[in-house]
Structures are given as C-alpha cells and as structure tokens.
Structure 1
Amino acid sequence: MADAGPPNQVRRLVLHGTRGVVSRCRDFTAQALADWGWIPADGEEARERVEDVLLLVSEVVTNACLHAGGPEELVLRNGEGRLRVEVSDASPEHPRARTPRSPALPGGHGLLVLDRLAGAWGSRDKGPGAVGKVVWLEVGRPPARRTGAPE
C-alpha cells in the first residue's frame, strides 16, 4: 500500500502583478513536492510523476496568462494519496476545447496535456460575490519506495 503522507497539507502562492509567473509557480511546486516527500523520487515512474506535475502546473498557469488576464493564486493541496493543484484568475470564462489542431503545430495543446496527464481536472466559479474561476487538477502520489526488495 502506498504511503499517503500527512493529510491536508496546503501551500498558497499569491500571484497578482508578479513577473516570471510560470517559472515561479514551478519552483514553488517543486519545493512543496520536495517538502512533502515527492522529491527525491525513487524509481522511473515516481520521477516521471513529478515531471508530469511540473508540466501540468506550467500548463494551467500559462493558460491563465494567455486566456484569463493572468493567475491570481496557486494553491497546492497534498493529502489522501494525491496532489490537487488550483489556479485562480479573474476571468469568468471556463476552459473549453478548441478546434482540433495538428500536433505538429505549436500551442493550443494545453487541455490535451491535462486530459492525458492529470487523474482529473476541471474548473469552478470562485464563489458568491467573487468574479472569476478556479481551474483545478489532481494527480496521484508516486508509488512509495519499496525497501528490502530482492534484487
């Protein structure tokens, strides 16, 4: 059974008016993952999962920059065997698939990346009296390192 880690760990990064927001969010996420025991990730599958998380963070933050006037906050929630990433912005427009593009052309593939790499994803309104939305995604925790396994 995989170790779920301590429940309900939360980190928040406020992003109003910041520069280099995508790299800042990736660095913030990498530090949280390291603190929560996702890094160093032992084994190929675990390392790939961490890289997937960083790519997913890049995608949702970039989409907020390109389509929603920029992200306002990044929230990471670790617990119950998964990581939940939430990016809020001031746009009421929810993500929607565009006309399919050739995979050979750059750009326009962010939602496809979410579909393929995230265990689940979606968006919701911020709540009563607030303008904007939260785009969220969830990724399962990498498998726990096995000790004493035969070689």
Structure 2
Amino acid sequence: MGSFAAPYQVDTQLPEEMGSITAARQRAREVLAECGYRGRREDVLLVVSELVTNALVHGDGPPALRIRCTPSHVRIEVRDRGPRLPVPR
C-alpha cells in the first residue's frame, strides 16, 4: 500500500489461546464498521483469522493485532514476541 496514511488505527493484545482467533475476528468486524470500510469485510476477517492462527501456531507468546482502516483501505498486522522472521517454504 505504499505510504499508507490511516486516520483510524486500533491495537489489540490477544491472549495466547486459540479463542483469540474468534476475538480477533470480532474486533476486526467492529473496527471495519467504526471506520466505515466499504470493501469486502468477509475477506478481511478471513485474513485476520489466518494471521492470528499462524501467530498462535508458529509464533512465540501472545499475538497482537493492529488494524489501520479508512473507508477504502484496510491494513492488518499481527505480531508475536518471537525473534525469528517467517521463512517461505
């Protein structure tokens, strides 16, 4: 997205448990509504699920979710406390 200027940003710390996937989807759903996102919300929720799942299964420590949103763009970031970077297969 290049130099993404987001007027709306939410950071959410999630517990290190599989229930965080549902919590992250719910938080993303709320954020998309709050910022008036007009895109395909179900696609965004799927990405959130996949990223949080990967952080829980392959990462270290509890994941953190960041959502930056405008009515036309959304950026999803998920991080964990692990020092290792992902390695493509």
Do the structures match in fold with TM over 0.5? yes
Count of paired positions: 84
Name whichever structure is richer in strand by fraction.
Answer: 1
Q: Give the superposed CA RMSD.
A: 2.1
Q: Does 2:42 match 1:51?
A: yes
SS of 1:86's equivalent?
A: strand
SS of 2:65's equivalent?
A: strand
User: Computing the radius of gyration over CA atoms, which structure comes out larger, 1 or 2?
Assistant: 1
Q: Is the 8 A contact 1:11 1:75 kept in 2?
A: yes
Q: Which has the higher contact order (CA 8 A, sep 6+)?
A: 2
Q: Is the 8 A contact 1:61 1:71 kept in 2?
A: no
Letter in 2 for 1:31: E
Unaligned runs of 5+ in 1: 1-6, 99-151
SS of 1:84's equivalent?
A: strand
Residue 13 of structure 1 aligns with which residue? 12
TM-score (norm 2): 0.78
Residue 36 of structure 1 aligns with which residue? 35
Name whichever structure is richer in helix by fraction.
Answer: 2
**CA–CA separation in structure 1 for the residues paired with 2:53 and 2:25:** 11
Residue 85 of structure 2 aligns with which residue? 94
TM-score (norm 1): 0.49
Against the structure 1 CA distance between its residues 9 and 18, is the aligned structure 2 distance closer, same or farther, given a 3 Å change threshold? Answer: same
